Amino acid sequence: MATALTSASAPRVNRRVLVAGLAIALPLVAVLVANLGRDPHSVRSPLIGRPAPPFRLVPVGGGAPVALESLHGKPVVINFWATWCVPCFQEHAALVEAARSLPAVQFLGIVYEDDEAQTGEFLRQRGTAYASLMDKDGKTAIAYGVFGVPETFFIDPEGRIVEKHVGPLDRGAILSLVARARGGGR
Amino acid sequence: MVPTLGRTLILLALLAASAGSIVGFATGARPSAAGWKWARRLAYAFAAFMALANLTMEYALLTHDFSVSYVAHVGSRAVPTWVSIVSLWSSLEGSILFWGLVMGVYVSVATWRKAGDHPEYMPYAVGVWLACGAFFSFLLAGPAQPFATIPNPALDGPGPNPLLQNHYLMVIHPPFLYSGYVGMTIPFGLACAALLVGRLGNDFIRPLRNFLLVSWIFLTCAIVLGGWWAYEVLGWGGYWAWDPVENASFLPWLTATAALHSAMLVERKGVLKGWTVILVLATYLLTILGTFMTRSGVFNSVHSFTQSAIGPTILVFLAAALLFSLVLLALRVDSLGSEGRLETGPSRDVMFLVQNLLFVLFTFTVLLGTVFPLVVEALRGAQMSVGRPYFDKLSVPIGVALLFVMGVGPALPWGRATKQQLRAALLPPLLGACVLAAVGFALGVRNLWTILALLFGGFTAQVTLSEMFLPVRQRMRARGEGFAEAFRQAQTRGRRRFGAYIVHAGAVVVIAAIAVSSTMGSSKEVQLNQGETTTLGPYQLTFAGAEQLSEPHRQSVLARVDVSKNGRSLGTLLPRMSQYENQREPIGSPAVHTGLTEDLYLSIHNFDGPSVGLLVLINPMVSWIWIATAIMALGGLVALVPSLRGSTAAAPAAGTAAVALEGSS
- Which among A89, A125, A92 is positioned nearest to B524, based on CA atoms? A125
Query: For residue B632, what pLDDT band results from cuts at 50, 70 and 90?
Result: very high
Q: Which residues of A touch B388 (CB under 8 A)?
A: 84
**Minimal C-alpha gap between A70 and chain B (Å):** 29
C-alpha to C-alpha distance for B642 and B98, rounded to whole angstroms: 30
Touching A: B residues 251-280, CB under 8 Å: 271-275, 277-278
- Give the pLDDT mean for B507-531: 91
Binary contact (B378, A1; C-beta < 8 A): no
Phi, psi angle pair for B652, to nearest 5°: -75, 155
Instruction: Confirm if A155 and A181 have CB atoms less than 8 A apart.
Output: yes
Hey, is the C-beta of B375 within 8 angstroms of any chain A C-beta? yes
Q: Which of B312, B373, B381 sits opposite A36 (nearest CB)?
A: B312
- Give the pLDDT mean for B230-236: 82
Q: Which residues of B touch A113 (CB under 8 A)?
A: 389
C-alpha to C-alpha distance for B210 and B208, rounded to whole angstroms: 6
Best residue in B326, B336, B352 for a mutation probing chain A (most A CBs within 10 Å):
B326
What is the structure's pLDDT at A177?
A: 85
Instruction: Confirm if A130 and A107 have CB atoms less than 8 A apart.
Output: yes
Element (H, E) at B359: helix B348-380
C-alpha to C-alpha distance for B273 and B255, rounded to whole angstroms: 15
More confident residue, B393 or B319: B319
- Give the pLDDT mean for A34-41: 63
Binary contact (B298, A85; C-beta < 8 A): no
Hey, is the C-beta of B471 within 8 angstroms of any chain A C-beta? no
Binary contact (B331, A113; C-beta < 8 A): no
Q: Which of B296, B378, B383 sits opposite A34 (nearest CB)?
A: B378
What is the structure's pLDDT at B15?
A: 97
What is the structure's pLDDT at A43?
A: 52
Residue B71: partners with Cβ closer than 8 Å, 6 or more residues away: B57, B60, B61, B64, B65, B157
**Minimal C-alpha gap between B330 and chain A (Å):** 5
Hey, is the C-beta of A172 within 8 angstroms of any chain B C-beta? no
What is the structure's pLDDT at B263?
A: 94
**Minimal C-alpha gap between A181 and chain B (Å):** 21
B149: β partners: B68
Hey, is the C-beta of A40 within 8 angstroms of any chain B C-beta? yes
What is the structure's pLDDT at B292?
A: 87
Hey, is the C-beta of A36 within 8 angstroms of any chain B C-beta? yes
Q: Which residues of A touch B383 (CB under 8 A)?
A: 40, 43, 147-148, 166
Q: Which residues of B touch A18 (CB under 8 A)?
A: 326-327, 329-330
Mean per-residue pLDDT over chain B, rounded: 87
Best residue in A18, A35, A39 for a mutation probing chain B (most B CBs within 10 Å):
A35
What is the structure's pLDDT at B190?
A: 96
**Pick from B244-253, B371-380, B414-423: least confident:** B371-380
User: Which sign does the torsion angle of CA B541, B228, A84, A89 carry?
Assistant: positive
What is the structure's pLDDT at A3?
A: 41
Touching A: B residues 162-191, CB under 8 Å: none
What is the structure's pLDDT at B249?
A: 92
What is the structure's pLDDT at B652?
A: 39
Q: Please report, for residues B210, B212, B633, the alpha-carbon distance to residue B217 in angstroms, rounded to integers and kept in the order given.
A: 11, 9, 5
Q: Which residues of B touch A149 (CB under 8 A)?
A: 387
Binary contact (B381, A7; C-beta < 8 A): no
Cα first-last separation, chain A: 53
Binary contact (B387, A13; C-beta < 8 A): no
pLDDT in tens, B239-294: 888 888 889 999 999 999 999 999 999 988 888 999 999 999 999 999 999 988 88
Hey, is the C-beta of A117 within 8 angstroms of any chain B C-beta? no
Q: How many inter-chain contacts (A to B, CB under 8 Å) are there? A: 144
C-alpha to C-alpha distance for B426 and B414, rounded to whole angstroms: 14
> Above 50 in pLDDT, residue B663?
no
What is the structure's pLDDT at B361?
A: 96
Binary contact (B375, A31; C-beta < 8 A): yes
What is the structure's pLDDT at A44?
A: 59
ipTM: 0.79
What is the structure's pLDDT at B63?
A: 92
The type of residue at A95 is L
**Pick from B203-212, B330-339, B562-571: least confident:** B330-339
Hey, is the C-beta of B391 within 8 angstroms of any chain A C-beta? no
pLDDT in tens, B43-100: 999 999 999 999 999 999 999 999 898 998 888 888 888 888 888 988 888 889 999 9
What is the structure's pLDDT at B644?
A: 52
**Pick from A1-5, B117-121, B142-146, B594-598: least confident:** A1-5
What is the structure's pLDDT at B654?
A: 35
- Give the pLDDT mean for B548-566: 86
- A22 to chain B: closest CA residue: B326
Angle, alpha carbons B93-B240-B522 (nearest 5°): 145
- For A23-47, b/e burial (b = at least 16 CB within 10 A) is eebeebbebbeebeebebeebebeb
> Above 70 in pLDDT, residue A45?
no
Mean per-residue pLDDT over chain A, rounded: 82
pLDDT in tens, A120-143: 988 888 888 899 999 988 889 988
Q: Which residues of A touch B380 (CB under 8 A)?
A: 46
Residue B72: partners with Cβ closer than 8 Å, 6 or more residues away: B66, B150, B153, B154, B157
Instruction: Confirm if B385 and A167 have CB atoms less than 8 A apart.
Output: no
Q: Which residues of B touch A126 (CB under 8 A)?
A: 525
Concatenated DSSP letters of B586-598: -EEE-EEE--SSE
> Above 60 in pLDDT, residue B175?
yes
- Give the pLDDT mean for B546-560: 83
Query: For residue B660, what pLDDT band results from cuts at 50, 70 and 90?
Result: very low
- Which among B209, B206, B25, B205 is positioned nearest to B122, based on CA atoms? B25
**Minimal C-alpha gap between B466 and chain A (Å):** 32
Instruction: Confirm if B195 and B336 have CB atoms less than 8 A apart.
Output: yes
Which pairing describes strands B522-528 and B611-620: parallel, antiparallel, or unpaired? antiparallel
Touching A: B residues 317-336, CB under 8 Å: 318-319, 322-323, 325-327, 329-336
> Above 60 in pLDDT, residue B646?
no
**Minimal C-alpha gap between A101 and chain B (Å):** 18
Best residue in B240, B280, B298, B365 for a mutation probing chain A (most A CBs within 10 Å):
B298
Element (H, E) at B214: helix B202-229
What is the structure's pLDDT at A40?
A: 52
User: Which sign does the torsion angle of CA B647, B649, B655, B656 carry?
Assistant: positive
pLDDT in tens, B568-620: 999 999 998 887 765 556 778 899 999 999 999 999 887 777 788 888 999 99
- B292 to chain A: closest CA residue: A32
What is the structure's pLDDT at B380?
A: 63
Locate all alpha helices (DSSP H) within B152-201, ordered by sequence.
162-165, 169-183, 185-197
Domains in chain A, CATH or no CATH each: 2-35 (no CATH), 56-182 (3.40.30.10)
Instruction: Confirm if B285 and B189 have CB atoms less than 8 A apart.
Output: no
Touching B: A residues 44-103, CB under 8 Å: 44-46, 84-86, 89, 93
